[in-house]
Amino acid sequence: MKVLGLDLGTKSLGVAVSDPHRLLARGVENYRFSDGDYEAAINKTLEWIKQERIETVVLGLPKNMNGSVGPQGEISLAFKAMLESTASVEVVLWDERLSSRIASQQMISNKLKTKRRKNTLDQQAAVVILQSYLDSKK
């Protein structure tokens, strides 16, 4: 079964999915929703879970550099609870510190244009989060 990786923002949800062998992550979507409309993000996640036959979801947990959980981290914790109450999947919180910076640097080194980087940053951050999780399981 595949694993779904998510990078949750206030207006977008970066989505990545693993291959069936759980070795590689690939970006699939940068889903945009109205500011704070996490119900729309949950519904989109449920679509991906069903479509890709997902059994585990890896959700990025934004932490401050000192390890504490701030307001966006609290939103991720609430999102996890909402997802667990509506889908029968395991939801794993994954420390996402620096994932956006790593994703941005990867896109720069691949010479992607600024507009394309901006439009796909959350998706690429989801790839970084999911790949980090998959690598930890090897």
Domain boundaries, the chain: 2-136
Structure tokens at 133: 């999780």
The one-letter code for the residue type at 113 is K
11-20: pLDDT as tens digits = 999 999 999 9
**How do residues 1-46 score in pLDDT, each as one tens digit?**
899 999 998 899 999 999 999 999 999 999 999 999 999 999 999 9
2-136 to CATH, choices 3.90.170.10, 3.30.420.140, 3.40.462.40, 3.30.70.20: 3.30.420.140
Who's near 19: CB < 8 A, 6+ residues apart? Answer: 2, 26
Q: In this structure, which amino acid lies at residue 30?
A: N
